[in-house]
Amino acid sequence: MTKLANNQGPSPGSTFRSVALRPLLGRALARGLFVALTVVLTTFSVWSQDSLKQKSDVLREAAMNRSGDPKRGKALFASASTKCAICHKVEGQGGDVGPDLSQIGGKFDRTHLIESILEPSAEIPQGFHASVIETKSGRSITGIVKAESATTVTVLDAEAKQIVIPLEEIESRKLSSVSLMPAGTAEILSPADFTDLIAYLTTLRTGPAATPGEGSTGTLILPPEFKAEVVASGLTGATALEIAPDGRILVCEQTGTLRVVKEGKLLTEPFVKLPVDSTWERGLIGVTVASDFPKTPHVFVCYVASKPFPHHVVSRFTASGDVAEPGSEKILFEGDDQTKLGGTVPAGHQGGAIHFGGDGKLYVAIGDQTAGKPAQALNSHLGRLLRINPDGSIPDDNPYASKATGKYRATWALGLRNPFTFAVQPESGRIFINDVGGKAEEINEGIVGADYGWPTIEHGPTTDPRFRGPIHHYPTACIAGGAFAPMDLRWPKEYRGQYFFGDFNHGQVKFIDPATPALAKPFATGLRRPVDLRFAPDGSLYVLVRDAWVVDKLFKGGTGGLVRIRNVRVENSAGSIP
């Protein structure tokens, strides 16, 4: 009976214990399930990451070792599966979420193109970081800020949808470290498809054909009786060069080292190492020497200093043999804090070329930092050619000396976009300025007080009486490097006194007659991304080349070089060359 009674139901105490244990057992079971599920999901995530990495590695290997079909790649670019055309423009067609890719194949090597697709968040182009905006109503909006007014912010999301957000509704706003570009490309493209897409991107340039890429030499085509040789290799981010009257060559490395080439050899010890900010296009970007160097042992440089904030610096050093005399730097000019100057790509359009004019003054080219409007302002040093005395003082006869104040009186000409290089003709003192486009690449004649119109007008010819148009222009690419051939150059007469200029994207050097500059003639093709040119006292033309245009996380040091082009007929003839 007791047994039966006990089986009829639990005692009050046992009932309490059972009820009390149920939530405990439930929580324990839930915890166990949660731990198990976490382990499963973590394991799955690791497997997924490993799988994705393996797939990415397969795509990398394919794209680096196969040429691919650009036509199929173009179709893939425009397809709904990749969504490339939704975000990027090519030759005016496509979206505005990401950067315009019309010139991407000329400015970036194959490695950069591959990594930008497989790991889009690893190196987001400046000016294209997404903003995450939280509203007071609880909405979270992620997109690229395209416009701001006193009352609203306009963003484009990953689907290229325009969203206008009233400022009064914004609770918080921050930049994201995650690219809007989809990271799952490896999951949707086969190795053949990915290779075709990369092949298409490499064709995006205005030149007739791809220039030789990283680690390759290609076919360098020169006129008859000319030969080329590599004088120095292993340069890191080469940006500019100068050849002293005694034949020594100074080469700027963007990362802050000024190298010396002497008697055909790159010296191990640099002339000087500067504390630069070398982000994107900043760094050591210009060099020249006193006209009677080494009698006057002064070397002048333009660089972007890193402290206390990024800003342009023009300095003078005193040479002691092949190195700078310790403590000899004299700062001649300092620009403004770049973090306060605006621009869609604040570290872009730095300019940097520096040369002495025929008047003995020091001329310095500074870009607009992609800010545009300051190139027209008198209280700015951006987007213009500066003119200072060798000691850093400002000449009283500068065209804006009475209109501007302080250091801004150094302005000699303005309205430039990115005058990365310019040159001065030794015999006449004429100045030709290479201004990187824009809708066109320009060669402008340097005229005191001139306004070249940027950004009020686009690059190219103009009929606007307020501005001075270019003497030569061609479709957008990347003009880089300029040098006047001496009038007494012992080359065939068709080259004497001509203006030579390079193009980074096209991988070529052309020349124009200063008297009739509209027509350019080819001189060298197949060069790997030239950035500067200079004629030497011995009659050789030196061409400085580098790898990718900017310094970013994918940048590789030691990939630049110095090429010497000489006329072999000169070496075999003691007389004049017809």
Residues of the chain within CATH 2.120.10.30 domain(s) are 226-571
pLDDT at site 574: 58
> How many whole angstroms separate alpha carbon 524 and alpha carbon 510?
7
> How many whole angstroms separate alpha carbon 305 and alpha carbon 309?
7
Beta pairing partners, 541 = 535, 565
- Rounded average pLDDT over 186-193: 84
Cis peptide before 212 (omega within 30 of 0): no
- Rounded average pLDDT over 71-87: 88
Q: Work out the pLDDT band at 357, boundaries 50, 70, 90.
A: very high
> How many whole angstroms separate alpha carbon 268 and alpha carbon 215?
22
> How many whole angstroms separate alpha carbon 457 and alpha carbon 459?
7
What the block records as the tokens of 418 is 């990115």
Location of structure tokens 């991407």: 104
What's the CATH fold of domain 131-175? SH3 type barrels. (2.30.30)
pLDDT at site 46: 43
* Res. 92: pLDDT tops 50: yes
* Res. 2: pLDDT tops 60: no
DSSP string, 93-116: EE-SSS---TTHHHHS-HHHHHHH
> How many whole angstroms separate alpha carbon 62 and alpha carbon 195?
6
> How many whole angstroms separate alpha carbon 570 and alpha carbon 554?
43
**Integer distance in angstroms from the first to the last C-alpha of the chain?**
133
Residues of the chain within CATH 1.10.760.10 domain(s) are 70-126+181-202
Lowest-confidence segment of 61-65, 532-536, 564-568 by average pLDDT: 61-65
* Res. 407: pLDDT tops 90: yes
* Res. 207: pLDDT tops 80: no
- pLDDT over 90 percentage in the chain: 61
Beta pairing partners, 484 = 499
> Which residues have a Cβ under 8 Å from the Cβ of 283 and sit 6 or more positions away?
237, 239, 252, 253, 254, 255, 256, 276, 277, 303, 304, 350, 551
Residues of the chain within CATH 2.30.30.100 domain(s) are 131-175
> How many whole angstroms separate alpha carbon 417 and alpha carbon 478?
12
* Res. 182: pLDDT tops 80: no
Q: Work out the pLDDT band at 576, boundaries 50, 70, 90.
A: low
Domain 70-126+181-202: CATH architecture, name and number where available? Orthogonal Bundle (1.10)
Q: Work out the pLDDT band at 169, boundaries 50, 70, 90.
A: very high
* Res. 23: pLDDT tops 50: no
Task: Return the higher-pLDDT residue of 492 and 68.
Answer: 492
Lowest-confidence segment of 95-104, 208-217, 536-545, 555-564 by average pLDDT: 208-217
* Res. 217: pLDDT tops 80: no
- Rounded average pLDDT over 516-532: 94
Q: Tell me which residue of 454, 542, 460 sits closest to 502, measured CA to CA.
A: 542
Which top CATH class is 226-571? mainly beta
> How many whole angstroms separate alpha carbon 242 and alpha carbon 354?
10
- Rounded average pLDDT over 49-75: 80
> How many whole angstroms separate alpha carbon 497 and alpha carbon 226?
18
Beta pairing partners, 166 = 152
Distance of CA 352 to the CA centre of its chain: 13
Neighbour order of strands in the sheet with 411-414 = 351-356, 362-366, 384-388, 411-414
Question: What average pLDDT does the structure give for the chain?
Answer: 86
| pTM for the structure as a whole | 0.75
Lowest-confidence segment of 341-350, 424-433, 464-473 by average pLDDT: 341-350
Lowest-confidence segment of 144-158, 199-213, 377-391 by average pLDDT: 199-213
What the block records as the tokens of 332 is 């001649």
**3-state DSSP helix/strand/coil percent for the chain, to nearest 5?**
20, 30, 45
> Which residues have a Cβ under 8 Å from the Cβ of 519 and sit 6 or more positions away?
512, 513
> How many whole angstroms separate alpha carbon 408 and alpha carbon 386?
9
* Res. 14: pLDDT tops 50: no
Residues 487 and 496 sit within 8 Å (Cβ to Cβ)? yes
pLDDT at site 186: 63
